[in-house]
Chains A and B, each alone.
Chain A
């Protein structure tokens, strides 16, 4: 129950005072509360990072200081006190793990409670799982098999040491450090995340997956994910999130960067069911995420699929920059907001290359007192000759106290391009409900069935294992919203 002397030294060095305690049975190392240049240095030092990385972080921190918290999203929350958050927390460092058996049994128990038996996962259809528990990866599986193909799949903190040239070249190339408030924050204090590199002409033999967890009270989790796919290669990446119940709001500001070269394809799927807070919105996670893919190469393709059921507040716009000619961007999203949840999510499709195409399918479901906003931008640059976009966003309202909002932005600067947008808002029809009830389903089952049908277009884009989990999740998320 005592932190290592090394940590104490670090903390003392930085703050002079030692003011952290432990709550869970897991021993952890934390930086002192709050954010300052010293904390940034502390994190970088803790990770034994090279000088260039520290400089990059400090640059981001300075930018962050000069930026203002964005307030245009349709979400309301008390102002975040960045000085009352732990910006670094890691499970107590253990010697290198050789197998899963060496993982802290406490940790394994937490996973089991969340319904993700690691052993089963390991075998399940060749999924390699890079577990992230409070910012630091503690177990990585299937790495060897991937290594044979020349694929790099490792924590980004390792990649900084083992592949500095790649990280240096691509980190921040899609989302510059000063892109937005939360991206700058993440750039300054990110602790860990995944790094994926698929070399030329390789089709990744399995679906790569990372499960993110937040467990430490008051510890903001700042992941950084970087995926680079070279010419003619393919990868499908799964990201799933769960978090145990917490009373205080937890901040999460991740950055995900995808880079696709000529003919490369990236499929990025997310199922997100973080703790949304209780019925009154107390507790729950603040999720302010910047995700962006750059279709750098010709005929490249990036596809985002997300099922969002969690978070007290979601602020998330997975986007595609369609730079390469004939590149394709896709965004499929289901966002469910129940109780006091607030979600402002959508996408941006920036068409730059000739003949670029994008599809946006967004399904928003609001229940309880939740507010669910779709906010999307389709921009056709002058150069995007013959570009094409189709957007469809549908909203479903359950109950008369929730809100569903649609705010699309269309900016078109090339006459040969074609942009189409359509949106509808409605409630579950009495007829559908009656039909189900009449056949013996109860209201909750019927609602779950109808909502699943409403989301079908998006669900079918999810990889198999996720689709099953996601379908269950939709039912669970809407519990208590009807009747």
Chain B
């Protein structure tokens, strides 16, 4: 039974690509999507897709021009809207000169495909299925030396029951440019499989915030690949709170020296939710720095997973890789899994990771309680403090309040 329906989804994708030429990028991508990840496969052991693969799902291939509109939430942001995985110009704001957006041509799609195949996302189910049936691959390009004074807000919405959607985005920052983006996942269908490739040029800097806040029954399998050049900077923060099942997988590669990266994240899980933050940082060049802080709050019967790998290649001397993950369990049915991983092949490096899982500190609770604050309120205060710390570190000024507020809403919903 399991196998049969499993294949149905994959077969429907393979039938769809039959309409395209044998050497089209869709066709080639679909050749590598023959099965769902094996539940025993090391990186999928803690996040099993069994329930999803038993569902009868079909992809949404093209743009239905559905008339929905999720409003931009961030003041003064340039809003770009994706509905059912398709870019909707009619719902998006105009981009300033210096940033361009276009659909990749078949030829460009092929080169995009070969880029993805060179990353560690090559076998990710989202990479192969999304490339097979995305409505179109959208590229955002930032010109050299350009720094927009407004941030870009990207909204993913739409979706239907028993349908999957496949937005594919390619962001390129040219030399010495700057960009700040906020992505909001507000999907309401069964499955969303976003695929993203980000290339950050020399001396360029990208600030990226992702808010995963999909519908309560949605599966979100995000796959991101980030490539950093010399002296570039990538500053990323993810907040995972919605959905039934979210796995955000990011592979970041240093392809130049003296680049820096922050890859922080928070997950707030309650009910039957399953949240998985999987990251891999590849230090292939010397003198790069990566820092990672992950916090999780788990209530209800939820499960949280953090898998973070730091790989230092031979010769990548003077690497500094730091990783810290903390999870707090606030219910006795919740569980937390952590697998921080160091793989080091160079000797002149400083790498460390730390991981803790536990409950709120009794002494701190008592301190607040003895000052007349109810236990519930004390708990709330401590958890908010636990998250505030990392949000303050990860997000800049005006955006900070917005993110903090989003986190608080998530938190209150699991504390009830």
Contacts and interface: CB of A to CB of B under 8 A. Distances in A.
B353 A422 contact: yes
Interface residues of A, number: 35
A434 interface: no
Contacts of A419: 355-358
B332 A415 contact: yes
B344 A400 contact: no
Interface stretch (B62-70, B118-126, B259-267, B334-342): B334-342
A418 B342 contact: no
Interface string B311-345: 00011010000000001011110111111111111
Main secondary structure of the interface of B (DSSP, over half): strand
Contacts of B358: 415, 417-420
A445 interface: no
A421 B340 contact: yes
Contacts of B354: 420-423
B339 A409 contact: yes
A143 interface: no
A410 B338 contact: yes
Interface string B185-198: 00000000000000
A410 B355 contact: yes
B337 A411 contact: yes
B346 interface: yes
Contacts of B280: none
Nearest to A400: B347
Interface size, B (range)? 35 or more
Q: Which of A400, A401, A417 has the most CB of B within 10 A?
A: A400
A410 B352 contact: no
A272 B349 CA distance: 29
A26 to B, nearest CB: 43
Contacts of B344: 395, 397, 403-405, 425
A339 to B, nearest CB: 15
B410 to A, nearest CB: 19
Q: Which of B314, B317, B334, B335 has the most CB of A within 10 A?
A: B335
Nearest to A427: B347
A414 interface: yes
Interface string A86-103: 000000000000000000
Contact of A415 (B329, B341, B343): B329
A411 B352 CA distance: 20
Nearest to B360: A415
B312 to A, nearest CB: 8
Contacts of A380: 357
A412 B352 contact: no
A80 interface: no
B363 interface: no
A189 interface: no
A362 to B, nearest CB: 12
A416 B359 contact: yes
A397 B347 contact: yes
Contacts of B21: none
B90 interface: no
B337 A424 contact: no
B155 to A, nearest CB: 35
Given A417-B358, A419-B358, A407 B341 contact: yes
Contacts of B350: 424-426
Contact of B342 (A399, A402, A413, A425): A425
Main secondary structure of the interface of A (DSSP, over half): strand
A427 B348 contact: yes
A415 B360 CA distance: 9
A408 interface: yes
A406 interface: yes
Contact of B339 (A404, A408, A415): A408
A266 interface: no
B378 to A, nearest CB: 16
A421 B342 contact: no
Contacts of B359: 415-416, 418
B389 interface: no
B8 to A, nearest CB: 29
Nearest to B361: A418
A401 B350 CA distance: 16
Contact of A401 (B314, B341, B349, B351): B314
A414 B298 CA distance: 11
A407 B339 contact: yes
Interface in A352-388: 380, 382
Contacts of B357: 380, 410, 412, 417-419
A382 B345 CA distance: 38
A44 B25 CA distance: 61
A408 B343 CA distance: 12
A400 B342 CA distance: 16
A127 to B, nearest CB: 39
Contact of B353 (A400, A417, A423): A423
B317 A412 contact: no
15 contacts: A397-B347, A399-B347, A400-B314, A400-B317, A403-B344, A410-B355, A412-B327, A412-B337, A418-B359, A419-B356, A419-B358, A420-B356, A421-B340, A422-B355, A426-B350
Interface of B: 42, 314-315, 317, 327, 329-332, 334-359
Across the A-B interface, the 3 shortest Cβ-Cβ residue pairs: A415-B329, A397-B347, A418-B358
Interface of A: 72, 380, 382, 395, 397-427
Given A411-B337, A417-B357, 4 more contacts: A395-B342, A408-B338, A410-B339, A412-B329
